Amino acid sequence: MDISSDTKLYAVIGDPIEHSFSPLMQNIAFQRLGLNSVYLAFRVRSQDLESAIAGMRSLGVSGFNVTVPHKVSVMRYLDRVDRLAVDIGAVNTVVNEGGTLIGYNTDGEGALAALREEGVELKGRKVVLLGAGGAAKALAFSIAPAVGKLIILNRTESKARDLASSLKGRLSSAVEGRKLTETSLRNELADADVLINATSVGMYPKADETLVKREFLHRGMTVFDIVYNPLMTRLLKEAEAASVHAMGGVKMLVYQGALAFELWTGRKPPVDEMCEAVENALRRRTG
């Protein structure tokens, strides 16, 4: 690619950052669409966040993604934060609109787009969401208006309850937060249509772990594991073995990036190509 004096710069900031797939997929998108833009990753330590954002502003960086551990703390350095990101309490995408930094959160909408692409119906359905951390929260705010009933199960019960009560105004039907136990899982999954694992259980290097016993799964349900490393988690393998519709986390990862790309450029990126690149990179990484 040709770098010139009017090449636009986009970036991702986090700590650590070296395992991020965002530069890979965003640069594919810029290249395919023939945009004179480049996307880089910067490791920013927490104590340097304020000056990093000031740097983005003064250098005129066109937009950037924000990842762990800055998704919450970055909000105080922005000029404006979109309503959904305020509700979620975290920002993963910043748009620089003529010097005004505006924060968005595309994680939950990315998950929703991935579910739609897989043809998973949410309207009127019962969804069991495992986890109440950052990803679960973003996901819950995006799917809540679409589902019939949402049950949030989390190891730390208070976080499940807090998330459920913060969602109440967004749901026409039931939302409940409970402690994640074998009994609550068994009971709630018995008539669930969709199970979403938004905990870090099953993530590399502890890829042989799962919270869900295989006998709790039943045909007709969808299992969505947002963990994307490894591509096939133990939960997904067991779901497939039980003939249960299973989907992994790569599509969500790519769609949150694709939505950020759209916010920056107003253009639709090549999602399939981005997915393929991320999957290939993951296969190479895990051998």
Residues known to be catalytic? 71
Do residues 145 and 123 make contact, with C-beta atoms less than 8 angstroms apart? Answer: no
Q: How far is the CB of 131 from ligand NAP (least distance, A)?
A: 4
The rounded distance, in Å, linking the Cα atoms of 196 and 112 is: 12
Q: How far is the CB of 26 from ligand NAP (least distance, A)?
A: 14
Q: How far is the CB of 66 from ligand NAP (least distance, A)?
A: 12
Q: Measuring CA to CA, which residue among 92, 115, 105 is closest to residue 249? A: 115
The rounded distance, in Å, linking the Cα atoms of 252 and 243 is: 22
Task: Using CB positions, name the residue nearest to ligand NAP.
Answer: 133
Which tokens belong to 182?
A: 């074998």
The rounded distance, in Å, linking the Cα atoms of 33 and 123 is: 35
Question: Which residue's structure tokens are 């995408």?
Answer: 93
Q: Measuring CA to CA, which residue among 186, 84, 93 is closest to residue 144? A: 84
Q: How far is the CB of 204 from ligand NAP (least distance, A)?
A: 9
Tell me whether residue 78 or residue 113 sits nearer to ligand NAP (CB atom): 113
Which residues are at the interface with ligand NAP (CB under 6 A)? 107, 131-136, 154-156, 159, 198-201, 203, 211, 226-228, 249, 252-253, 256
Tell me whether residue 8 or residue 69 sits nearer to ligand NAP (CB atom): 69
Question: Which residue's structure tokens are 């999954």?
Answer: 189
Tell me whether residue 96 or residue 230 sits nearer to ligand NAP (CB atom): 230
Q: How far is the CB of 37 from ligand NAP (least distance, A)?
A: 22
Which tokens belong to 190?
A: 């018995």
User: How many residues make up the chain in this entry?
Assistant: 287
The rounded distance, in Å, linking the Cα atoms of 208 and 66 is: 29
Tell me whether residue 62 or residue 210 sits nearer to ligand NAP (CB atom): 210
Q: How far is the CB of 228 from ligand NAP (least distance, A)?
A: 5
Tell me whether residue 133 or residue 270 sits nearer to ligand NAP (CB atom): 133
Edge-first strand listing for the sheet containing 93-97 = 37-43, 8-14, 63-66, 93-97, 100-104, 80-81
Tell me whether residue 63 or residue 230 sits nearer to ligand NAP (CB atom): 230
Residue 252: φ, ψ to 5°: -65, -45
110: helix, strand or coil: helix
Do residues 126 and 149 make contact, with C-beta atoms less than 8 angstroms apart? Answer: yes
| ∠ Cα 194 199 201 (to 5°) | 110
